[in-house]
Amino acid sequence: MYDSRELFSRLDFGHPGLAAARAALREGDDQGALRAIIEHFRTRTQPSYLFDEADVAAFHDPQIVQEADRVCDHFLFGYDLGR
């Protein structure tokens, strides 16, 4: 994602948790909208996760990370799917 407008186009501003961001956008305040979006994701209580950052760090598996990197590079099941 390269700019805030692309991010905005992917969010559902009808969600109650994004009301402040929606209001900021209506006023033309992109920075305020971004701050409101960040605040929403930092403070939301749903969905609830079954793990925390310490659990993630303890599970770090370099082989899984390597495979995930290959998928992100569009290389799946031995095929280079390009971009």
Q: Is the same domain home to 34 and 56?
A: no
Are 60 and 82 within one domain? yes
For residue 41, report the phi and psi dihedrals to the nearest 5 degrees.
-70, -30
Q: Do residues 37 and 57 both lie within one domain?
A: no
Per the structure, the complete domain to which residue 81 belongs is given by 51-83
Q: Are residues 8 and 38 in the same domain?
A: yes
38 and 12 in a common domain: yes
What are the tens digits of pLDDT across the range 26-74? 999 999 999 999 999 999 988 877 788 888 888 888 888 888 888 888 8
How far is it, in rounded angstroms, from Cα 2 to Cα 50? 31
Residues 9 and 37 in one domain: yes
What is the structure's pLDDT at 23? 98
Residue 11: both structure tokens together? 């969010």
**pTM surpassing 0.85?**
no
How many CB atoms neighbour CB 3 within 10 A? 9
55 and 35 share one domain: no
User: Domains in the chain: how many in total?
Assistant: 2
Which of these, 70, 15, 69, lies nearest to 37 by C-alpha position?
A: 15
